[in-house]
Amino acid sequence: MTYTNAWSDTIPLGTDLANTIDDSIRQLRLDIHDRMNSIVQDWTADPIVLADAALGTLTKNIFIHHSAFQPDDPAHETITRTAEKLIVSPFTSSATFWAPVSLPIGAVITGVVFNITQGIGLPCNLKLRKVVFNTAPTPPTATDLFATVTNSSSFSEYTVNGSYTVLNNDVLFFEVQLFAVSAFYNAAITYQVNALSQSI
C-alpha cells in the first residue's frame, strides 16, 4: 500500500523553527491515519472496527469424532462404538452414516481427511456433500463436493484435496458408507478464511 508520506523517525529536526511544529504534528497525524486505515475500516470512526483485510488468510481445521456420525437406519443393531472407532460387524452388509458440518459463508474448503480401516470387506465410500436449503417446490438433492473410496484393508488416512467455497444456503455434511468389518475413526476438513466474520 502507498501512503501519503514515507515514514520518518527523524522529523522534526532539532534545528526546525518552533513555529513549524504544528506542520510536523499534522504530518504525524496524517501518517498514522494512513497506516491505521490499512488495518481498520475507518480510523475516524468511533468505535474503531478492525478491517477484514487485516486478518489475512488463515488456514483452519475442523476435526469430527465418529460419534457425530449417525446411521441412516436407526434399526442397525450390528454397529459397535468405542471411544476410538465405529465398527460395522460382519452381520451387516453395509451402513451409511451422516454427520453435519458447519462452516461460514465464504470459507474455502481445500481438503478433507478420513481415518478408516477397510478391513476385509468391500471398499468404503467417503464423501463431503451438500444440499442447498431453499423454499422452492422442488426438494433439494445432494451433491458430492469431495469423494474417495478406500483401497487398503489396513488403517489408512484418506486425503482428498480440492477447492470449494461455501455459499449462502449450503447445508454441508459428511457421508460414509461402511461395509462389514470396517472401522471408522474420524474425519477432518481443512479450510481457509480471510474475514473476521468467518469465526468458526
Q: To which residue does cell 478420513 refer?
A: 114
C-alpha 123/C-alpha 180 separation (Å) is 10
Burial class (CB within 10 angstroms; exposed 0-12, middle 13-18, buried 19+) of 79: middle
Burial class (CB within 10 angstroms; exposed 0-12, middle 13-18, buried 19+) of 18: exposed
Residue-wise pLDDT tens digits, 145-167 = 999 999 999 999 999 999 999 99
**Residue 128 clears pLDDT 70, i.e. is over it:** yes
Q: What is the pTM of this model?
A: 0.76
Mean pLDDT of 23-31: 91
- The CATH 2.60.120.260 domain(s) of the chain lie at 56-193
C-alpha 38/C-alpha 36 separation (Å) is 5
pLDDT at residue 11, rounded to an integer? 87
pLDDT at residue 63, rounded to an integer? 97
Poorest-pLDDT segment among 41-50, 57-66, 180-189: 41-50
CB 147 within 8 A of CB 124: no
C-alpha 142/C-alpha 34 separation (Å) is 48
Those residues with Cβ within 8 angstroms of residue 128's Cβ, 6 or more apart along the chain or in another chain: 101, 109, 112, 144, 145, 146, 147, 160, 172, 173, 174, 175, 189
Residue-wise pLDDT tens digits, 79-116 = 888 999 999 876 667 889 999 999 999 999 999 999 99
Q: Which CATH superfamily is domain 56-193 in?
A: Galactose-binding domain-like (2.60.120.260)
Residue-wise pLDDT tens digits, 48-74 = 888 766 667 889 999 999 999 999 887
Query: If residue 99 lies in a helix (H) or strand (E), which one and from where to where?
Result: strand 94-101
pLDDT at residue 197, rounded to an integer? 60
